Amino acid sequence: MASTRSGRRSGRRPGESGSREAILDAARSRFTAHGYDAATIRAIAADAEVDPALVHHFFGSKEHLFAAALHLPVDPAAVIPDLVAPGVDGLGERLIRFFLGLFDELGTANPIVALLRSVAAHEDAARMFREFYSQAVLERIAAGLDVSQPRLRAALCMSQVVGLVMTRQVIGLEPLVRADDEVLVSAYAPALQHYLTGPLPEPTRRFGATS
| Interval 130-152: pLDDT, tens | 999 899 999 999 999 999 999 99
Minimal CA–CA distance to 142: which of 159, 154, 129?
A: 154
DSSP code, position 73: S
Q: What pLDDT score was predicted for residue 156?
A: 97
More confident residue, 143 or 77: 143
| Dist. CA 13–CA 24, nearest whole Å | 14
Q: What pLDDT score was predicted for residue 41?
A: 96
The helix/strand/coil state of 90 is: coil
Range of the structural domain that residue 48 is part of = 16-69
pLDDT tens profile 6-40: 344 444 444 577 899 999 999 989 988 888 899 99
Q: Are residues 157 and 88 in the same domain?
A: yes
**Taking 80 as the threshold, does the pLDDT of residue 204 lie above it?**
no
Query: What total of structural domains would you count in the chain?
Result: 2
Q: What is the mean pLDDT of residues 174-191?
A: 95
**140 part of a folded domain:** yes
Q: What pLDDT score was predicted for residue 12?
A: 46
Minimal CA–CA distance to 73: which of 100, 103, 95, 96?
A: 103
Q: What is the mean pLDDT of residues 177-182?
A: 94
Q: Cis link prior to 76 (omega < 30° from 0)?
A: no
Q: What pLDDT score was predicted for residue 108?
A: 63
| Dist. CA 163–CA 25, nearest whole Å | 30
Q: Are residues 177 and 82 in the same domain?
A: yes
What is the chain's mean pLDDT, rounded?
86
Last residue of a domain, one of 52, 69, 86: 69
**Taking 50 as the threshold, does the pLDDT of residue 115 lie above it?**
yes
Q: Which CATH number do you get for residue 81?
A: 1.10.357.10
Q: What is the mean pLDDT of residues 61-76?
A: 87
Contact 43, 84 (CB under 8 A): no
